[in-house]
Amino acid sequence: MRRLLRARYGEIRLHPTRNPAGLSRRVRAYLAGTHRAIDDVPVDTGGTPFQRRVWSALRRIPAGQTLTYGALARRLGIPAASRAVGRAVSLNPVAIVVPCHRVIGANGTLTGYAGGLDRKRWLLAHEGAGPTPSRGRAAPARTTRRTHAGAVRLAVGAVTRTRQ
């Protein structure tokens, strides 16, 4: 995750802060089960116009639902561009808040995630979705719950970085 942040913003420094712009409170609410608590967190992702379009579409996938890369490409009106969409998803600089973990492979398998597949699996289970293409319906969760504080710290740090 730090590598992605450096690629997007250059050299970064994450500074411990109690509740930067209310983000810690929102992330804690998300982790406590209020999944919509982070839906309207403002972010400046940077990136190309195409990447920003893909990242914006990610924010419209509700918690508890998954979507395949191909389905996301179709939603964007570019059905033949699932690989390009996948590449843009992989470069998402603001994990969790821009929920790239909700995008899965065409056959329902979990595919790459900068935070690791264990975190992706945990996030999907936490939101009540499993790694099955849902076409708008939540799939059952199949993993144990445990907090991944490192991913959350990086997500909050990334969002904080964009507000400077």
Q: Could you list the active site residues?
A: 100
Q: Report how far residue 26's alpha carbon sits from residue 35's, in angstroms, rounded to the nearest whole number.
A: 9
Q: Cite the beta strand spans of 9-86 per DSSP E.
A: 67-68
Q: Cite the beta strand spans of 67-128 per DSSP E.
A: 67-68, 103-104
Q: b/e map of 106-115 (b: 16 or more CB within 10 Å)?
A: eeeebbebbb
Beta-carbon contacts of 93 under 8 Å, excluding residues fewer than 6 positions away, are 4, 5, 7, 8, 9, 45, 46, 47, 158
Rg (CA), the chain: 15
Q: Report how far residue 104's alpha carbon sits from residue 66's, in angstroms, rounded to the nearest whole number.
A: 7
